[in-house]
Amino acid sequence: MLQTLLSHSVREVTVNDAALKASTAIFLDAREKREYDVSHLKDAIYVGFNEFTIASIKDIAKDNPVIVYCSVGYRSEKISEKLISADFTNVSNLYGGIFEWVNEGHVVYDLYNQPTDKVHGYNSLWGMWLTEGEKVY
């Protein structure tokens, strides 16, 4: 499904490789706020999709390693393209997004930074790709 959904216009990183980079990379969450509030990757910065602006990440150095994610990788690919256009030099899209992150057994955190099994499924069509965790709509 992702092979045809994504344009593969930016560098992609697997969830396992991203997990290894968690201590050095900055994770940006390109989902909507209601999705982020259910769960997100540890220390991820909410940037959104529809309301995203480069100004919202002005404190991030353009050469910092940045990994952008969403549910499956489509929205994060679009935000990654915007970052690259704004001269960010070390940007990757999390291939499979938070769904693949959870499917591979990695931990997500709630609004209070506590581990949780809950993941916003976006909608019932996209939520079918989340095979682990507890789907929330």
pLDDT along the chain (137 residues), means of 10: 79 98 98 98 98 96 98 97 98 98 98 98 94 97
CATH number of 2-136: 3.40.250.10
The pTM of this model reads 0.95
Q: C-alpha angle 36/39/42, rounded to 5°?
A: 100
Q: Could you give the residue numbers annotated as active site?
A: 70
* Separation between Cα atoms, residue 13 and residue 58, nearest integer Å: 23
Return the pLDDT at 1: 63
Residue showing tokens 């993941």: 119
* Separation between Cα atoms, residue 130 and residue 80, nearest integer Å: 23
* Separation between Cα atoms, residue 118 and residue 107, nearest integer Å: 10
